[in-house]
Structures are given as structure tokens and as C-alpha cells.
């Protein structure tokens, strides 16, 4: 930067803040902001452009004592950018792992028992050819029945009695048509003449011939019917009974490729009751733990991947807390990332009941921590009074002092509304596990009630 530009930048800044030289420290940044808010739009734009050029080249037109503080703040800015990039990369890796897990495990087939569909078609509409064939078959059967009744129910046939003697020869066939002539030859009737026997033989031959004609008339009907039926059909009730017995006795099964993994995503509203455990300095030295209740609300999302009864939940929610600490009020905005194991304890027609257990990572993204208590000094050798206040991870704060862990346990109920949409409610307790936040090293335990809606993927 040229000397002329440096002088111009210095003069613009000094004019903007009333010729007051502002160093880069915590106490003077608020004053600089207050002065900048009093500028008119044109002057503010001019100062902004000059300041961006100077800071972009790492040139500070004030005094050399501010270089170290500016360098520290620039390091924090770079650290924040690297932190955001690393978190985005971690989220992408987690999402890819979950997607791969669901994709490959979803190809495992599931074996389900089922009863094969009935072969009978009760509601099928008959065709024109079927109706014609059935009509012809009915006509032929009717004519055959008339002929049979006329022949075998005549008065002459009923009045004549045949007295036959069974042959003792085992070689004789059991067919009535073959036995009948032999029986007529074995008639023992001393009072009848040969002419009567001859007349009876002729009459029986006529009956046999008539029966053969009737059977021949039925042959075309059976042949015509076979044109429409390729297999022998059982009655409907017999076929259903046979199918049921076969499925029961032989356990008919079929392998249907169906995913065993169920994935749901949901959003929820959360009501929290916190218990704060913080350090309080005592006059004369020493510290004590002090607890204070606090109620807040928040919103979040959850992803549930279920493998039968066992599965896991992964999600996040954002909460804002404001509480008294030290001689002031601390305001923090924290992101919670829970990972819980879910086990369905009871499945009913209307709801599923489950239990949860796992842990959560709590990260303070933005914070304005209260200063330490001035009514009491820190113990000798305690370096807390020399520590800088943490600003949150998105404001240049470090991981230490802005993150903590909790152990989770709870239960919930999932109520399906439609095939893919359902409601859920959870009650979860989060016990502080590791690390503290802020100057007073606060520990936060939380009792949460969640109410939300889910949908299947």
C-alpha cells in the first residue's frame, strides 16, 4: 500500500471515529462499532472499502502495538474457516456411510409365507364359443337322458324278471355286460320253453345295443368339452380346501426380495428443562458448585434407520440458552448432535413403543459469556482470571471451553397415521458427562420432551 493510501485510510478512520485512535482489543471494538453506526451511508461505504483493502493486504495503519492482536484475530478467522470445512467434510462422510449402509442392507430378501392364489375364476365372463359348447353339451346330455329313461324304465322291462345263477368259474369277467349272456344260458326254469329264452335273449341284446348307442352319443360331448379344458378341474370348494391343506402340510413359501431396513426422517419441536451446575468463587478463596434450573425450547430433525426391532437415531437440534453466571448473563447458542440406539420393546396395531440409549455432542456455536465474579478473587495459582473469554466456535472460539458431552436415556412411542407418515413423541434425559463451557465452567444436564412427525423414505 502506498504512503498516500495509508494516510488516506488513517484520515478516513480518524474522521469516522472522531480522531480517536482505536486499538484492536476487546474493550475498544464496541466503541468502534458505535462510532461506525453514526456514519451516513456514503461515509460508511467509503470507510468500508478502504478498510477492506488495507486488511486484505494485512496492513494496519494504526500503531505497531496492534499487530499482535490483529494477527491473533486473523488466526481465529482462519481456524473458523478450517473448522467449518472439516465439519462439512465429516457430515458428508457420515451421510455417505449411512446411504451406503441402507443401500446394501436393503437388498437382503425377506421370506414370507403366503397361500397361492385360487385357480378357480369365479368372476370370469364366458365367451361366445364357451356358451355355444355348453349349450350343445346340455342338449346332448338331455337327449341321452331321455333315451336312457325310455329304455330302462319301460313297463316291459320292469315286469320281466330274470332268474340267473351266478357262475362259479373264477375266470369269468366281472363286467356285467360279459356276465349277462352267460347268466341267460344258465337259467334254471323247467316250466319255461326254449322260445321264451330266445325272446329274452333278443330283448336283452336290444337293451345292450340301445345302451351302446346312448354312450356313443355322449362321446362327442366329452371330446368337445376337452377342447376348452386342458386340465381336469376340481370343484371350487375342493380346490380351495386342497390349496389350504397343501400350504399347511408342506409350508409353501416364496422368496420375495423386500428390504429389511426401514428408514425414516422427521422434524420435531423440543421443550427442555436444564439443570446448570457452575463454579462460584468464594470470598477469601475457594470455589463451590451452584445449581440453577432453566427452561428453553428448540427445534431439530432426526433420521431413524431400523433393522427389525433394533436400529439407531442420528439427528441434530439448535437451542438458545440465557442464564445468570458470575456478575452477568451468559447467552449461548448450541448445536446438539445425538446418536442413540433404538430398540422396539412392543409392537401393536396402532403404535410402536421403543427405548433409547446413547450419547450427544453439544457444541456452542455463538456465545457471550458473562465475566467472572468481581466479588471474590480466584484462588492463588488459578489461571482462570487470565483466560480470554470464549466466543463460540463460529466466532473464533476454541473447542476447549465450547463443547461438552452427555449420556442419553429415554423412551418414546411411534404412531402411524398413513402408510408412510407417522407421529412420534419422546422423553429423554441427558446427563452431563465430560467437559465444561464458559469462564465459570458450566455443566448442563437436560430433561427433554420431543413431539414431531416422520416420513418413510
Which of 40-54, 89-103, 342-356 shows the lowest per-residue confidence on average (mean pLDDT)? Answer: 40-54
Locate the DSSP E strands across 228-260: 253-256
HSE-CB of 48 using CA atoms within 13 angstroms: 10
Residue 384 reports pLDDT greater than 50 = no
pLDDT in the model for residue 75: 75
Mean pLDDT of 316-344: 87
> In terms of pLDDT, which residue wins out, 238 or 92?
92
Distance of CA 241 to the CA centre of its chain: 38
Q: Is the pTM of this model over 0.85?
A: no
Do residues 66 and 23 touch, judged by C-beta distance below 8 A?
A: yes
Mean pLDDT of 304-333: 87
- With cut-offs at 50, 70 and 90, classify the pLDDT of residue 142: low
Residue 234 reports pLDDT greater than 60 = no
CA-to-CA separations, 195 to 160, 204, 208, 404, in angstroms, rounded: 15, 14, 20, 125
- With cut-offs at 50, 70 and 90, classify the pLDDT of residue 423: very high
> In terms of pLDDT, which residue wins out, 311 or 66?
311
Give the burial class of 9: count Cβ atoms within 10 A of its Cβ; 0-12 exposed, 13-18 middle, 19 or more buried: buried
Using DSSP bridges, classify how beta strands 253-256 and 310-325 pair: parallel, antiparallel or unpaired: unpaired
pLDDT in the model for residue 317: 92
Name residue, grid cell 423440543. 270
Please state, as a whole number, how many other Cβ atoms lie within 10 Å of the Cβ of residue 311. 19
- With cut-offs at 50, 70 and 90, classify the pLDDT of residue 392: confident
Gap between the Cα atoms of 200 and 159, Å rounded? 12
Mean pLDDT of 302-328: 88
CA-to-CA separations, 394 to 82, 398, 431, 441, in angstroms, rounded: 11, 9, 25, 19
- With cut-offs at 50, 70 and 90, classify the pLDDT of residue 275: confident
Which residues does 418 contact at the CB level (< 8 Å), separation at least 6? none
For the segment 14-68, what is each residue's pLDDT rounded down to a tens digit?
A: 555 554 445 545 555 666 666 666 666 665 566 666 666 655 554 444 455 556 6
Do residues 352 and 325 touch, judged by C-beta distance below 8 A?
A: no
> In terms of pLDDT, which residue wins out, 219 or 315?
315
Mean pLDDT of 261-266: 92
| Averaged pLDDT of the chain | 69
Residue 200 reports pLDDT greater than 50 = yes
- With cut-offs at 50, 70 and 90, classify the pLDDT of residue 421: very high
Do residues 323 and 363 touch, judged by C-beta distance below 8 A?
A: no
pLDDT in the model for residue 278: 72
Q: What is the DSSP string of 66-99?
A: GHHHHHHHHHHHHHHHHHHHHHHHHHHHHHHHHH
Residue 336 reports pLDDT greater than 80 = yes
For the segment 179-190, what is each residue's pLDDT rounded down to a tens digit?
A: 444 444 444 444
- With cut-offs at 50, 70 and 90, classify the pLDDT of residue 78: confident
Q: What is the largest CA-CA distance in the chain?
A: 162
> In terms of pLDDT, which residue wins out, 352 or 121?
352
CA-to-CA separations, 148 to 134, 199, 329, 350, in angstroms, rounded: 21, 21, 112, 66
Mean pLDDT of 277-282: 66
Gap between the Cα atoms of 14 and 28, Å rounded? 14
pLDDT in the model for residue 452: 96
Mean pLDDT of 385-414: 80
Mean pLDDT of 304-324: 90
pLDDT in the model for residue 231: 54
| Domain limits, the chain | 3-62, 128-231, 260-456
> In terms of pLDDT, which residue wins out, 40 or 223?
40
Gap between the Cα atoms of 226 and 223, Å rounded? 5
CA-to-CA separations, 222 to 88, 120, 121, 134, 227, in angstroms, rounded: 79, 21, 22, 11, 9
Gap between the Cα atoms of 191 and 316, Å rounded? 116
Query: What's 160's DSSP letter?
Result: -
> In terms of pLDDT, which residue wins out, 366 or 425?
425
> In terms of pLDDT, which residue wins out, 376 or 429?
429
Residue 165 reports pLDDT greater than 50 = no
Q: What is the CATH number of domain 260-456?
A: 2.40.160.20
Amino acid at each position: 500500500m502506498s504512503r498516500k493510501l495509508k494516510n488516506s485510510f488513517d484520515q478516513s478512520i480518524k474522521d469516522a471515529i472522531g480522531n480517536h485512535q482505536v486499538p484492536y482489543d476487546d474493550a475498544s471494538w464496541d466503541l468502534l462499532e458505535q462510532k461506525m453506526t453514526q456514519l451516513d451511508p456514503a461515509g460508511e461505504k467509503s470507510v468500508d472499502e478502504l478498510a477492506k483493502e488495507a486488511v486484505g493486504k494485512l496492513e494496519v495503519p494504526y500503531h505497531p502495538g496492534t499487530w499482535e492482536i490483529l494477527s491473533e484475530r486473523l488466526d481465529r478467522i482462519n481456524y473458523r474457516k478450517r473448522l467449518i470445512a472439516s465439519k462439512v467434510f465429516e457430515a458428508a462422510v457420515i451421510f455417505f456411510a449411512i446411504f451406503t449402509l441402507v443401500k446394501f442392507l436393503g437388498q437382503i430378501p425377506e421370506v414370507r409365507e403366503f397361500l397361492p392364489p385360487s385357480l378357480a375364476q369365479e368372476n370370469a365372463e364366458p365367451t361366445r364359443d364357451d356358451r355355444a359348447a355348453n349349450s350343445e353339451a346340455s342338449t346332448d346330455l338331455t337327449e341321452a337322458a331321455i333315451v336312457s329313461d325310455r329304455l330302462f324304465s319301460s313297463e316291459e322291462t320292469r315286469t320281466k324278471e330274470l332268474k340267473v345263477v351266478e357262475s362259479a368259474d373264477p375266470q369269468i369277467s366281472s363286467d356285467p355286460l360279459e356276465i349277462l349272456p352267460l347268466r341267460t344260458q344258465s337259467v334254471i326254469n323247467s316250466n319255461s320253453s326254449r322260445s321264451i329264452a330266445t325272446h329274452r335273449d333278443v330283448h336283452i341284446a336290444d337293451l345292450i345295443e340301445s345302451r351302446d348307442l346312448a354312450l356313443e352319443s355322449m362321446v362327442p360331448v366329452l371330446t368337445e368339452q376337452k377342447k376348452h379344458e386342458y386340465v381336469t378341474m376340481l370343484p371350487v370348494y375342493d380346490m380351495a380346501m386342497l390349496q389350504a391343506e397343501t400350504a399347511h402340510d408342506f409350508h409353501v413359501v416364496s422368496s420375495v426380495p423386500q428390504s429389511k431396513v426401514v428408514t425414516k426422517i422427521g422434524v420435531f419441536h423440543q421443550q427442555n428443562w436444564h439443570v446448570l451446575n457452575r463454579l462460584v468463587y468464594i470470598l477469601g478463596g475457594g470455589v463451590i458448585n451452584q445449581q440453577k434450573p432453566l427452561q428453553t425450547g428448540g427445534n431439530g430433525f432426526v433420521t431413524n434407520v431400523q433393522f427389525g426391532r433394533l436400529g439407531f437415531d442420528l439427528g441434530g437440534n439448535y437451542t438458545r440458552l440465557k442464564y445468570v453466571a458470575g456478575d452477568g448473563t451468559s447467552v449461548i447458542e448450541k448445536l446438539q448432535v445425538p446418536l442413540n440406539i433404538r430398540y422396539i420393546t412392543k409392537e401393536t396395531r396402532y403404535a410402536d413403543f421403543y427405548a433409547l440409549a446413547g450419547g450427544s455432542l453439544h457444541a456452542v456455536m455463538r456465545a457471550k459469556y458473562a465475566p467472572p465474579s468481581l466479588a471474590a478473587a480466584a484462588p492463588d495459582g488459578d489461571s482462570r482470571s487470565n483466560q480470554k473469554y470464549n466466543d463460540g466456535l463460529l466466532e473464533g472460539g476454541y473447542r476447549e471451553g465450547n463443547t461438552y458431552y452427555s449420556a442419553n436415556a429415554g423412551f418414546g412411542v411411534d404412531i402411524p397415521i398413513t402408510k408412510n407418515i407417522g407421529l412420534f413423541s419422546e422423553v429423554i434425559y441427558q446427563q452431563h458427562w465430560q467437559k465444561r463451557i464458559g469462564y465459570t465452567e458450566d455443566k448442563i444436564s437436560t430433561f427433554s420432551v420431543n413431539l414431531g412427525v416422520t416420513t418413510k423414505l
